A and B are shown apart, each in its own frame.
Chain A
Amino acid sequence: MDLKLKIWRQADANAEGKFVTYPVHNISQDASFLEMLDVLNEELVTNGKEPVAFDHDCREGICGMCSLFINGRPHGPDDSVTTCQLHMRKFKDGETVVIEPWRAKPFPVIKDLKVDRSPFDEIIRSGGYVSVNTGGVPDANTIPINKENADLAMDAAACIGCGACVAACKNASAMLFVSAKVSQLALLPQGKVEAKRRVESMVAKMDDLGFGNCTNTYACEAECPKDISVANIARMNREFLCAKVT
């Protein structure tokens, strides 16, 4: 299949960016979206031009490195996948595909389609863990955990930190990301110990970094490649409310 790509090109963080149009030809329907970009890049390099920079790594939908806002949707026109798992059979021959970087104040563009997502790390650093050191912990089966909660915790823990929730949200809010970690740990007895401190400092950090406010639009849930539920956001709100009033 042949496609017309409109890709955001930006030399570095301080440069002015612009859209550049590239045609690509003879793309297989079975290729992944990133493999299609590989083909384009190979062609660009062969012609001595700078290839399009985009983040990617595992190419199996788990590392959270790939991003891309494709035709108005983070990770493109398929549900519950990352861009690396998006296949060209989801596109029509001759289609124009607009590829943009994630857009949010806390996620500045580094180059072309790569953005800086380190604010997510900063949020986790502010408390997204259980403060135990190596060694000196009890036997793993000492604390029975109800299966339902363990499963809910796993649902939340599936977050890959890709930032699609922020990219999709009309307010560039990071609530789904933050709430996934808060929820995972709030649901488990190990995490309950410092639950109050955790939710307060993570939310404060999220606000400081300049993410927008949640308006319960649920675009985040719709676009999350790991189907993280907005019930986690409610759980975080609840945790936060309890932390504030107690």
Chain B
Amino acid sequence: MSVKYSSITKKIWMSLMGLFLMVFLVVHLSINLLLLVDPSRELYNTAAHFMGTNPFIQTFQWVLFLGFTIHIILGFVLQIQNWIARPKGYKIKAKSEESFFSKYMIHTGIIILIFLGIHFVNFFFRVKIFHTVPDYILNGVNTGMEDMGIVVVKLFQSPSYVIGYVIALIILGFHLDHGFQSAWQSIGVNNSKYTPFIKGFGHLYAIFIPLGYIAIPLVIYLTT
């Protein structure tokens, strides 16, 4: 892959996948927030059930996997090439970096990847492979849907899990902060008219999306 595709091609794919994943984060968050909106978990479980069974979403899920995979593989390939490009480093580390978080994209990326693994084990594999999610009983009636909500609520009662989750999301914020504006730059959108907006929006995105995610375990932990 590294031989065949030019650096800019890789960067463009990297950013397109990044932007795609950022859209996914918004969708995911809006569903998660249903847990706070409706403590009975009905809305949440309905949405989760829909996402888990709708044929279109199920197909699209593979596109999402592919997006993740491309983004992750390219991230590693680019990083390895970058390390090779400077075999001997400086004695005094460079002091001139402008976009601070860009220096740590590989580090934040790896942490997010680990978090993603844990997330899969806790949720995705439980429902899809291990089938250890209880059915959702609403008013004494088995709805036939899995009670994903209760899985979440139970996990978020563990303080260590909540702390880990919060840290992971803060790191995701760092990753997004650079990633958002960087993605636009890589696909060639940089213009004195739009770029300040893109950068500003990117910072807000990188703060509010993780905050939204973080709010859920905190509220659940503090209220149950």
Contact = CB atoms under 8 A, between A and B. Distances in A.
Judge A-B direct contact (beta carbons within 8 Å).
yes
Interface of A: 6, 19, 69, 71-74, 98, 100, 103-106, 168, 170-173, 203-204, 206-207, 210-219, 221-223, 230-231, 233-241, 244
A234 B190 contact: yes
Given A72-B90, A73-B96, A237-B8, 7 more contacts: A104-B86, A168-B96, A172-B86, A210-B84, A217-B99, A222-B98, A231-B190
A142 to B, nearest CB: 29
A171 B85 CA distance: 6
A204 B191 CA distance: 25
Contacts of A236: 8, 188
Interface in B87-120: 87-99, 102-103, 105
A218 B186 CA distance: 12
A72 B102 contact: no
The interface size bin for chain B is 35 or more
A203 B91 contact: no
A104 B88 CA distance: 7
Given A98-B92, A170-B94, A203-B6, A238 B182 contact: no
Given A210-B84, A216-B99, A234-B185, A72 B11 contact: no
Given A171-B82, A212-B86, A244 B9 contact: yes
Contact of A241 (B12, B91, B99, B192): B12
Interface in B165-199: 178, 181-182, 184-192, 195
Contacts of A171: 81-82, 85-86
B96 A219 contact: yes
B71 interface: no
A172 B186 contact: no
Contacts of B97: 170, 217-219, 222
A216 B85 contact: no
B98 A234 contact: no
Contacts of A239: 188
B86 A215 contact: no
A68 to B, nearest CB: 12
A176 to B, nearest CB: 12
19 contacts: A73-B94, A100-B91, A168-B96, A171-B82, A212-B82, A215-B105, A216-B185, A217-B98, A217-B99, A218-B98, A233-B190, A234-B184, A234-B189, A235-B188, A237-B8, A237-B11, A237-B187, A240-B9, A241-B8
Nearest to B98: A218
Contacts of A74: 96
Interface in B114-146: none
Contacts of B99: 216-218
B95 A216 contact: no
B90 A210 contact: no
B98 A72 contact: no
Contacts of B189: 234, 238
